[in-house]
Structure 1
Amino acid sequence: MTADDSYSRIDDDDYPAYTMGRAAEMLGTTQGFLRAIGEARLITPLRSAGGHRRYSRYQLRIAARARELVDQGTPVEAACRIVILEDQLQEAQRINAEYRRNASPPTEGD
């Protein structure tokens, strides 16, 4: 990978740029929390060539939402399920809105 390739990924929300330690620090949580939400299949970090977990900005946003719920007293597994359902709902709403925009208006006589 060249330097130009690295710079082009700076704005990529899915690029796994953050180590587990840095991700935990940014979220104000522990590495154990990141492992727990990984085990609950909320996020699946990519692995570096050396086998270390790497997280993207998108994954950190998802993890931050789960942490909010856990901080409010929700068990980790339940928080992960809630975040998954919220994400599915948001995607369904996006698809529905796109469908409505693309639907042709009814013609007279329909």
Structure 2
Amino acid sequence: MGVGPALAVPKLLRHTGLEAGDVHRWEVNEAFASQALHCVRALGLEGAWQDGRVNPDGGAIALGHPLGATGARMVATLMHGLKRAGKGDVGVATLCIGTGMGHAALFVAE
């Protein structure tokens, strides 16, 4: 469970023509610490993790993992961060869904 974002993000980036380095802010779901680390490694986001672009306000372990509302919490956190960052910044929210499914959504600050 939880590895779906590692499969969803590459499809999102191909669809949008962007690369992981073009994303200023990542919200990666932390259903479990090991799951989040797997997704970060599988997506090659170790550098983004180290420089604070992955879950910069804290992830689900710090902020909570409200069953049924995690996606809304993550998108709200991402939107607030993009609003603070400024026009043109790109953010991606990723979500794991039971049985290995995943979701990724891209947002651009205006």
TM-score over 0.5 (shorter chain): no
Given the two structures, how large is their TM-score scaled by the length of structure 2? Answer: 0.27
Specify the structure having the higher radius of gyration (Cα).
1
Q: Which has the higher contact order (CA 8 A, sep 6+)?
A: 2
Given the two structures, how large is their TM-score scaled by the length of structure 1? Answer: 0.27
| Between structures 1 and 2, the one with greater helix share | 1
| Between structures 1 and 2, the one with greater strand share | 2
